[in-house]
Amino acid sequence: MHIVDKDGITILYNEKCEEIEGLTRDFVLGSDIKDLVKRGVYSESVSMEAINSKSLVAKTQQVNQRNIFSTSVPILDQGEFVAVVTNVMDISNITSLEFQLKELEKVNETITEELGIIQDLNQTNELKVSRNKMMNSIFRLALRVSKADSTVFILGESGVGKEFMARFIHANSDRKERPFFFFDCSAYPRHMIHPLLFGTSDEEMTPGIFRQAQGGCVYISEISNLPLESQRDLMSIITEKVIPGDRRRASREIDVRVIASSSEKLLPHVQNGNFREDLYFRLQTVPIEIPPLRDRRNEIMPFISHFLDLYNKKYNKNKTLSVEAIQDLIHYSWPENLRELEEEIERGVVFSQSNQIMANVILLAATPQGVHADTTKDLRENVLQFERELMKMYLAEARDIHHLSELTGLEVSSLRKKAKRIDVDMVYDGS
């Protein structure tokens, strides 16, 4: 993959391009593609042609004396160019025109998959999702699974889109017209989880989420935090479609599909006795693992474009990103994945004083005074340290978890996950 900005300056050049074109990353990065054409490295610039024509361009060109087939796709934001993404293929040994045409179809199909759009099946929002080959295969699996009624387990780091995947499965299932309930085990004290999920049999007869979701789907997030008592009842619902000990409602079958997820592997919890082995294997019937954003960097640019458009509309702005800001976003490690990317774009739209969001407004813009980067550590370690300092500052002002949520603008469940990830105790010092 070869990405240039709107002026034709290379901002990303991966190893595959090095292999196919016979050039080095150090040579191409930061170079003006027009200058490389003048020097004879490229016979012509497919990227610049895509910019000038405002459309996809696919053609054969000479690169470093090799026959290269290139497909360039412009990335637009409010009609303005942000970048051009180019995929390349070595066709030096291809002599059949028919074969070239078939390969062109395959390349175009791959580009469409990588930069394609699927609707957010939440029924309230529309979400654009770029799918690389890895994500496309995951979505195909999810579509196949949605047509069955199997229990599904989704594994992935915080912020990769597990809830969206659960909603995607539900919205493509035969239960799509029935209720979808989301329950985050990490957002509640352990003693509250069981009655909230399964209800009570006392005089007040609290129904619980599973009864309210009759005929629909219950998505249980961070299931590793589910108490053993609740695991027992969940196993009964999955296998026997009943809640144990429910005498008054024993005749009523619990017809609910279960989708569960976790940001950490469950096997260690099984081994230390905190998770039932039978439930573990039941969940592994259909496992789906979503890779972190750092392992699918070709999705970052389309998501940047999507979130920028989303928050420009929300706040009635017309902001764009500088080349430096785009480079920082593309090369950042994204420990909180898509959730963190979305938060950074929103911060840039809100806090940038000019219509162009500069690099100093994003990522490290909220660094507390007095905290300095340690150049002996990598960027991710420095960002973690900055996040710890920030969280401690907020905790010093917060009265409780809900007040902390108001101060930070993050949901309670996200705060608990973030505090666990950055290793900060949730101790509130505010009066």
Task: Provide the greatest CA pair distance for the chain.
Answer: 84
State the amino acid at position 24 in one-letter form: T
Give which of 196, 194, 200 is closest to 209, Cα–Cα: 196
Using alpha carbons, select from 98, 96, 86, 89 the residue that is nearest to residue 68. Answer: 89
DSSP calls for 111-159: HHHHH-----TTSS--------HHHHHHHHHHHHHHHS---EEEE--TT
Q: Can you tell me the distance from the alpha carbon of 134 to that of 290, in angstroms, rounded to the nearest whole number? A: 9
E strands within 383-425?
none
| 3 state SS of 273 | coil
Q: If we measure between CA atoms, which residue out of 161, 41, 58 comes closest to residue 109?
A: 58
Sort strands 80-90 and 2-5 into parallel, antiparallel or unpaired.
Answer: antiparallel
**Distance in angstroms (rounded) separating the CA atoms of residues 35 and 48:** 12
Q: Model-level pTM?
A: 0.58
Q: What is the pLDDT along the chain (431 residues), one digit of tens a residue?
A: 888 888 888 888 888 888 888 888 888 888 899 998 998 889 898 888 888 888 888 888 888 888 888 888 888 766 677 788 888 887 766 544 555 556 556 655 544 444 433 333 333 333 344 456 677 778 878 888 888 889 999 999 988 889 989 999 999 899 999 999 999 998 888 889 999 999 876 545 678 899 899 999 999 999 999 999 999 999 999 998 888 766 555 456 889 999 999 999 999 999 999 999 999 999 988 899 999 988 888 788 888 888 898 899 988 999 998 888 888 888 888 888 888 888 889 888 888 888 888 887 777 543 444 445 566 677 667 777 777 888 887 888 788 888 888 777 777 777 887 888 888 888 876 65
The 3-class secondary structure across 27-88, one letter per residue, is HHCCCEHHHHHHCCCECCCHHHHHHHHCCCEEEEEEECCEEEEEEEEEEEECCEEEEEEEEE
